[in-house]
Amino acid sequence: MSIFKKADRLGRLPPYLFKEIDRKKSEVMARGVDIIDLGVGDPDLPTPPHIIEALKRAVDEPANHRYPTYSGMGDFKEVVAKWYEERFGVKLDSETEVVSLIGSKEGLAHFPLAFVNPGEVALVPCQSG
C-alpha cells in the first residue's frame, strides 16, 4: 500500500472560510444563543410554490437539458444588465460586462487573476480573528 504525501503548499493554506464560519456558529449556538444565519446563502425557508412550479415546467423543456455556452446564456445576461440598471442606475453591456458564474466564490477567487499582474501589489481587506 502506498501513501501519497500532500504537497507542502496545502499546509500553508488558511482554513476554508465557510467551514470556520460554521464552526463559530456552532460554538455560539452551543451556548444557547439564537442566531440569524446569513451564511453561504443556504435557504432556511421553503422555496415559494410559484418558483417550484416554474422549475417543474423548465425541466420539461429539452433546451434546458444542455449546459449553457461558456459565454453564458444571452437572455440571462440581458436580464441581469436590466436589473442592474434598474437597481443601481448603471447601464451594462450584457455581452462584455456581465459574466455568468457557477457561484460567487468562483468570481471572487478569479477576480485578482483578471486584474492583478505578477509583481503587482493589491490591497485586500480581510477580517482577522
Residues 11-69 pLDDT 10s = 887 888 788 888 998 999 999 999 887 766 677 789 999 999 999 999 999 988 888 77
The span from the CA of 44 to the CA of 38, in Å, is 10
Is pLDDT larger for residue 129 or for residue 10?
A: 10
Residues 97-126 pLDDT 10s = 998 888 787 888 888 888 889 899 888 777
Cβ(25)–Cβ(34) under 8 Å? no
Closest CA to 76 of 60, 84, 2: 84
Residue 114 phi, psi (nearest 5): -85, -20
Q: Is the pLDDT of residue 76 over 80?
A: yes
Cβ(91)–Cβ(85) under 8 Å? yes
Confidence of residue 2 (pLDDT cuts 50, 70, 90): low
Q: Is the pLDDT of residue 129 over 80?
A: no
